[in-house]
Amino acid sequence: MAAHPSHGTWSDRSRAADSRSEPRRTLTRLLQECGIEPGGPNAWDIQVLNDDFYARVLANGSLGLGESYVDGWWEVRDLEGFIYRLLSARLDKKVGTWRNTLAWLIASFTNLQRPSRAFQVGERHYDLGNEFYAGMLDRRMIYSCAYWESARTLEEAQDAKLSLTLGKLGLRIGQRVLDVGCGWGGALKFAAEEYGVTGVGVTIARQQADYARRACAGLPIEIRLQDYRELDEQFDHVYSIGMFEHVGVRNYRAYMNVIRRCLNPGGRFLLHTIGGFESTNHVDPWMNRYIFPNAMLPSQQQIVLAIEGLFTIEGWQRIGTHYERTLLAWRANFERYWAELGAPDERFRRMWHYYLSTCAGAFRAKTIDVWQVLMVPNAR
């Protein structure tokens, strides 16, 4: 008996429908457990525009979620609220994929932050353009968590953060300080103007170094394009703001040894870093691919292990509750700058909107934090 000519087409369509409906049911159920209803009325309910979204996320986890957003496969009015609910329910742990395992294995057997790769994050992220970052950040170009305790604006909050940070070092006129990962030079300029110190700042981003030299012109400050491992000279105090996230756990001990050999007896070291509550060796796959290559967040245990025998901790302050507001201020500046620029690259805009919003959601969920760790060197 001959098959009806339409049977094959119907069967193919049925199988295709089943292949889409099962991922949709699975991911919808997981999202509902987080208080998120696909197509729902709440600001944090995602609106799916491409049915392949469900299978893509289940197959690729956070990478698939971020890439599908950049591709315009889904929308949500409150992106940080959406991410907050995902992370609060630990959905990222329930949808682990082979990509997370692969990232862990690669970082376990390879030093992703070795000297030959040290400048990659500068070239791909920090050298996007000084004008671009000027449109997003405050007037000092501080690209780290602000301190909003008594501040009303981003400018006030970043000044307050610099006062908080540098105030812990006990700086005095004429002292020489080292800024490891100086960015655009804002903190060093603040230190020279407010405390009367001299200083050296190192960065692995060429455009940052050029900008910092101009910004600090006329002050007793030297800006170098240099990897931290090359440092071998003496300073009264050392600080590092938002750079340790690029060091990597395989290099933590070497990093601390560099700081120790550069610090005069009686000096202080202030480490300001984003941190995680679980030890790992790699960053989120989407973040690694599109924003911060070779990055990772330290845990408290990893920091303590790295300083053993070298430093004693004198203070450990958590200020991560201030980062969500900082990120949302940056996002508002970025969106305003992008609109004024009239830039046609919608994918880039969505990528940065996603980056800033998801980080804000993570800090709201308290899955990551910001630490200021004050240390003094142990006797040799």
Per-residue pLDDT of 176-209, as tens digits, reads 999 999 999 999 999 999 999 999 999 999 999 9
* 258-289 pLDDT per residue, tens: 999 999 999 999 999 999 999 886 788 899 99
Task: Evaluate if residue 169 carries a pLDDT over 80.
Answer: yes
The boundaries of the domain holding residue 368 are: 117-377
Annotated catalytic residue 34: no
- Between CA 160 and CA 147 the distance in angstroms is 6
Nearest C-alpha neighbor of 251 from the set 86, 359, 116, 140:
116
Q: Name the band, by pLDDT with cuts 50, 70 and 90, for residue 103.
A: low
Residue 377 pLDDT > 60:
yes
Q: Are residues 138 and 194 in the same domain?
A: yes
CATH number of the domain at 338, please.
3.40.50.150
pLDDT band at 111 (very low <50, low <70, confident <90, very high): low
Average pLDDT, the chain: 90
* Backbone phi and psi for residue 20, each to the nearest 5 degrees, phi listed first: -90, -35
Instruction: Work out the pLDDT band at 379, boundaries 50, 70, 90.
Output: confident
Q: What is the 3-state secondary structure (H, E, C) of 20-54?
A: HHHHHHHHHHHHHHCCCCCCCCCCCCCEECCCCHH
95-99, 112-116, 243-247: least confident range:
95-99
Q: Are 333 and 239 contained in the same domain?
A: yes
Q: How far is CA 361 from CA 22, 132, 184, 321, in A?
A: 28, 23, 26, 11
Q: Domain for residue 2, yes or no?
A: no
52 lies in the same domain as 133: no
| Domain's final residue, options 66, 96, 126 | 96
Q: Which residue, among 142, 147, 164, has the nearest Cα to 208 in the 3D structure?
A: 142
Does some domain include residue 108?
A: no
123 and 92 within one domain: no
Same domain membership, residue 173 and residue 280:
yes
Residue 88 and residue 126 share a domain? no
Residue 251 belongs to some domain of the structure = yes
Same domain, 211 and 285: yes
- Catalytic one of 34, 145, 262, 359: 359
Same domain assignment for residues 208 and 352: yes
Tell me how crowded residue 40 is: count the other CB atoms within 10 A of its CB.
14
Report if residue 110 sits inside a domain. Answer: no
Q: Would residue 105 count as lying in a domain?
A: no
Helix segments in the chain, DSSP class H:
7-33, 53-70, 79-88, 91-94, 98-109, 120-124, 130-136, 154-167, 186-195, 206-215, 252-262, 285-290, 300-307, 323-341, 346-365
Residues 134 and 267 in one domain: yes
Q: How confident is the model at residue 2 (pLDDT cuts 50, 70, 90)?
A: very low
- Asked whether residue 122 falls in the same domain as residue 74, the answer is no
Check whether residue 304 and residue 197 sit in a common domain: yes
Whether the predicted pLDDT of 18 surpasses 90 = no
SS3 assignment, position 158: helix
Identify whether 104 is part of a domain. no
Same domain, 233 and 373: yes
Number of domains in the chain: 2
107 falls within a domain: no
Is residue 318, in this structure, part of any structural domain at all?
yes
Average pLDDT over residues 372-377: 98
Predicted pLDDT at 281: 65
pLDDT tens-digit series, residues 321-338:
999 999 999 999 999 999
